[in-house]
Amino acid sequence: VRSTTVLGRRAVVGAVPVAVAALLATAGPAAAGTTGASGAADPYFPLAGNGGYHVSHYGLTLDYRPSNRHLDGRAVLTARATEHLTRFDLDFKGLKITGLTVDGHKAAFRRSGQELVVTPRHALRKGQRFCVTVTYGGTPAPVTDPDGSADGWIPTDDGAFVAGEPQGAMTWFPANNHPKDKSAYDFTLTVPEGHAAIANGVYLGRRTAHGKTTYRWHQAEPMAAYLATATVGKFKVQQYTTRDGVQVVNAVDPREAAAAAPVLKKLPSVLEWESKVFGPYPFRAAGSIVDHAPDVGYALETQTRPLYDSAPDLATLVHESAHQWFGDSVSLTSWKDIWLNEGFATYAEWLYSEQHGGDSAQKTFDALYARPAGDDLWAYPPADPGSGANIFGTPVYARGAMALHELRTAVGDRTFLRILRAWATEHRDGHGTTAQFERLAQRESGKKLDGLFRTWLYGTGKPARSDRS
Ligand code: ARG
Ligand code: ZN
């Protein structure tokens, strides 16, 4: 969720250095069909992700010094080849690589933009498990997205705000950087004593020695790379377990503590309400990171532990929490389906309001529908926003939620809630597409809904009243 306008956002820190080719050896032209693709075939982000393998686990060991913004890292990727590979790509932008091995053997690599092209000493057989270790260091810088916003490793006055949607994971670790590929993660994060380093999943503990503190985190359920975080700051950290046995860790910048406290107190009840509406909470850990990062301008649903650039309001907390089901547990296979994340999380805000003494969803819908035909809201269809520059635009959030409200009106409340729950349950820890959602809605309702979806998800311009159900 954007807290403010894109204008006024601080210029992106530094320019990402043009990839200096670290050509250790020449791979030579590989035989046809043995080279992993440089992208996951995403129409909006063609170089995001890679072909030819699946990463099951990332082990990330990082050491960050906020005073000089230096990051040292080691990434150990456990992967499996899905085709015969003489070479494959990772996404990694900026930081200098000091070592790279595949299954313990030094491997040749070369860099070109965000592509890190690895040629292992021995070709990988289809189905073979392999392990890539990359050591690296330098000053990470965020990427600038097509809409002008920044994401990735974003330095703050006391640490770093680390948010990777859609592209920024590759600014701090080498990754198969597309939500199609989901993995488990372990984090070992070292920061100067007095700082905290907060990642995803279960908190395993910390240890201080020689003026440095190391935090360990474990993300067991599969996670898309863009949802990983390793946010650093002088946070106050609070931990407790909910009635449902979920481990909650809240990390709060002291400058935001007074404003955040009343909202964070509601997190357990928000998660309980959402579990009733959407089905069981999908992860074993939860919480929040409330940073003080005034130039960022958005929050992100980092898995298990949403990240806020300042103390959130309740609607934003409800939104990022709803993403744990819609976006995090049920992931995109293509960025153009982004309304499956943002439309759903926005509709969760409307439903929450309606059931907690605020405006009804109908009232919110009506106020939006009253906007004139020339309004930004009608600028493009939510299920086909056209380019990466539009994925966080008003049509995706608001018209996406309006599409769900039209669905609810057409099928009735009980069926609508059954559809939401079936979606979250059947695709849990997996993926979903817009077409799959449409089919599921028709199946659960027994109604023909293609006209409704055509109008609200794919139509351009403001739908006419006669198109309304
Ligand atoms: N998914 C986030 C939210 O709506 C928004 C992320 C925006 N990212 C960006 N690079 N502008 O909760
Ligand atoms: Zn969102």
Residues 413-469: tens digit of each pLDDT:
999 999 999 999 999 999 999 999 999 999 999 999 999 999 999 999 999 977 665
**Which pLDDT score, from 0 to 100, does residue 465 have?**
78
Residue 12: what pLDDT? 33
Residue 83 gets which letter from DSSP? Answer: S
Mean pLDDT of 305-320: 98
pLDDT of residue 34: 80
Confidence of residue 2 (pLDDT cuts 50, 70, 90): low
pLDDT at residue 221, rounded to an integer: 98
* Interior angle at CA 442, CA 429 and CA 449, nearest 5: 125
Of 223, 190, 201, 163, nearest to 73 (Cα)?
190
Pocket of ligand 1 contains residue 335 by CB under 6 Å: no
332 lines ligand 1 (CB under 6 A): no
Question: What's the confidence (pLDDT) of residue 121?
Answer: 97
Average pLDDT, the chain: 93
Radius of gyration of the chain (CA): 22
Residues in Cβ contact with 233 at an 8 Å cutoff, skipping those fewer than 6 apart: 156, 158, 159, 160, 195, 196, 251, 253, 291, 292
What is the per-residue pLDDT across 164-221, written as a single tens digit (0 to 9) for each? Answer: 999 999 999 999 999 999 999 999 999 999 999 999 999 999 999 999 999 999 999 9
The pick from 226, 325, 392 for probing ligand 1's pocket by mutation, whose C-beta has the most ligand atoms within 8 angstroms, reads 392
Overall average pLDDT of the 137-159 stretch: 97
Give the helix/strand (H/E) hosting 218.
strand 212-224
Give yes or no for residue 298 CB within 6 A of ligand 1. yes
* Cβ of 145 below 6 Å from ligand 1: yes
Give me ligand 1 centre to Cα 261, in Å: 23
| Residue with CA closest to ligand 1 atom 1 | 300
Per-residue pLDDT tens over the stretch 12-41 = 333 333 333 333 333 444 444 588 999 999
pLDDT tens sequence across 258-290: 999 999 999 999 999 999 999 999 999 999 999
Say what the pLDDT of residue 13 is.
32
pLDDT at position 31 is: 46
The pLDDT tens digits of the residues spanning 363-379 come to: 999 999 999 999 999 99
* Average pLDDT of span 64-83: 98
- The mean pLDDT of 128-147, rounded to a whole number, is 98
Compute the CA torsion angle 180, 185, 191, 196 (nearest 10 deg): 90
Q: What is the pLDDT of residue 26?
A: 36
Q: Is 328 in the pocket of ligand 1 (CB under 6 A)?
A: no
| pLDDT over 70, % of the chain | 92
The pTM score is 0.93
pLDDT at 1: 61
Three-state DSSP class for residue 277: helix
First to last CA, the chain: 29
For range 146-173, the mean pLDDT? 98
DSSP-derived 3-state class of residue 393:
coil
Is 265:205 a contact under the CB 8 Å cutoff?
A: no
pLDDT at 208: 98
Band of pLDDT at residue 390, cut at 50, 70 and 90: very high
SS3 content of the chain, % helix, strand, coil (to 5): 30, 30, 40
Band (61; pLDDT cuts 50, 70, 90) = very high
Query: In angstroms, rounded to a whole number, what is the distance separating the alpha carbons of residues 155 and 294?
Result: 11
Can you tell me the distance from the alpha carbon of 381 to that of 300, in angstroms, rounded to the nearest whole number?
23
Q: Which atom of ligand 1 is nearest to the CA of 166?
A: 10
ipTM computed for the complex = 0.98
B/e letters for 161-196, b = 16+ CB within 10 Å, e = fewer, are bbbbbbbbbbbbbbbbbbbbbbbbbbbbbbbbeebb
Closest atom of ligand 1 relative to the 323 alpha carbon? 12
d(CA 153, CA 189): 14
- Asked whether the beta carbons of 62 and 95 are under 8 A apart, the reply is no
How many other C-beta atoms are found inside a 10 Å radius of the C-beta of residue 198?
A: 28
* Predicted confidence (pLDDT) at residue 11 exceeds the cutoff of 50: no
